[in-house]
């Protein structure tokens, strides 16, 4: 490898990933072969990270003077006590600053994919599961996330993309787990002439999320911009309110 960062499965440094094939075999995307295609975010992430660190990523964090120690694709972080899937990071990176303080970085990769479904539709799906299974915790999870991140439930949140809530929650929860006081959530977008039909929609969805999360201190986020720090409103066991959160985005041409 050109850089010294260890690529591995589940942050286990002995379980190295040193090739594109190992990346897929050890840490396949949720859709397996269906999502492992050129131009799709899962495979493009592997292609751009398996041997090097992308320059736009390094440029964005240059002033932080970080040492990147370990990264794991498709790493899952638990962010609440409700049953269900945790936050599936496209890439989770453990770094440290000049003072040897831990920094957690979560990367969300996009090409032509949206940020999942809206909160409104996610609530509808959770209600359907609850009708079939009285023990379903989906509605409780959605409520807890909305209160933790925004301080309350509000109709203005219903059009937000639920994946952005779980992504930020998972980033903060992993920082808490790693005893880090700073957490960075980055959106990595692969662009080309053939893809990115949803680029403008994703930007609008991200801006709407940023505006509500920051209580309109920021109304949008631009390419190669890192904003923060922010702190969530209500703390939980998994999500403390004393972790500084930064959010950024950058593009990679393919």
Q: What is the pLDDT of residues 69-116, one digit of tens each?
A: 999 999 999 999 887 789 999 999 999 999 999 999 999 999 888 999
- What pLDDT was estimated at residue 104? 98
The three-state secondary structure class of 228 is strand
Query: What is the number of residues in the chain?
Result: 254
Pairs from 212-216 (Cβ < 8 Å, separation ≥ 24): 212/150, 212/156, 212/157, 212/160, 213/149, 213/150, 213/168, 213/247
Beta-strand (E) ranges in 17-128?
67-77, 87-96, 102-110
- What pLDDT was estimated at residue 1? 42
Strand partners, 157: none
Q: How confident is the model at residue 121 (pLDDT cuts 50, 70, 90)?
A: very high
Nearest residue to 110 (alpha-carbon basis) of 58, 175, 161: 161
Q: What are the residue ranges spanned by the domains of the chain? A: 6-253
Q: How confident is the model at residue 2 (pLDDT cuts 50, 70, 90)?
A: low
Query: Is residue 64 scored above 90 in pLDDT?
Result: yes
> Could you give the CA distance from residue 4 to residue 52 in angstroms, rounded to a whole number?
9
CB 2 within 8 A of CB 51: yes
Q: What are phi and psi of 253, to 5 degrees?
A: -80, 135
Query: Is residue 31 scored above 90 in pLDDT?
Result: no
Alpha helices in 61-196 (DSSP H): 119-132, 138-150, 162-177
The contacts of residue 123 (CB under 8 Å, 6+ apart) are 139, 142, 158
Query: Is residue 225 scored above 50 in pLDDT?
Result: yes
Query: Is residue 201 scored above 90 in pLDDT?
Result: no
Sign, Cα dihedral of 108, 20, 10, 82: positive
Find the helix or strand (DSSP H, E) in which 230 lies.
strand 225-230
Q: What are phi and psi of 150, to 5 degrees?
A: -115, -10
């Amino acid at each position: 490898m050109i850089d010294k960062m260890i690529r591995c499965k589940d942050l286990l440094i002995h379980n190295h990933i040193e090739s594109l094939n190992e990346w897929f075999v050890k840490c396949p995307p949720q859709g397996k072969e269906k999502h492992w295609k050129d131009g799709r975010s899962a495979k493009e992430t592997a292609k751009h990270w398996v041997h090097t660190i992308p320059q736009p990523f390094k440029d964005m964090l240059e002033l932080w003077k970080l040492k990147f120690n370990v990264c794991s694709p498709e790493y899952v972080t638990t962010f609440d006590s409700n049953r269900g899937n945790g936050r599936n990071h496209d890439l989770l990176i453990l770094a440290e600053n000049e003072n040897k303080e831990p920094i957690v970085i979560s990367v969300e990769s996009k090409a032509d994919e949206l940020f999942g479904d809206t909160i409104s539709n996610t609530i509808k799906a959770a209600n359907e599961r609850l009708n079939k299974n009285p023990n379903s915790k989906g509605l409780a999870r959605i409520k807890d996330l909305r209160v933790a991140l925004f301080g309350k439930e509000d109709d203005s949140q219903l059009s937000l993309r639920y994946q952005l809530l779980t992504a930020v929650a998972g980033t903060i929860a992993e920082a808490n787990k790693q005893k880090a006081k700073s957490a960075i959530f980055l959106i990595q977008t692969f662009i080309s002439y053939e893809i990115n039909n949803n680029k403008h929609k994703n930007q609008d969805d991200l801006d709407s999320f940023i505006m509500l999360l920051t209580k309109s201190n920021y109304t949008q986020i631009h390419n190669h911009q890192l904003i923060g720090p922010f702190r969530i409103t209500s703390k939980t066991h998994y999500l403390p309110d004393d972790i500084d959160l930064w959010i950024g985005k950058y593009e990679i041409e393919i």
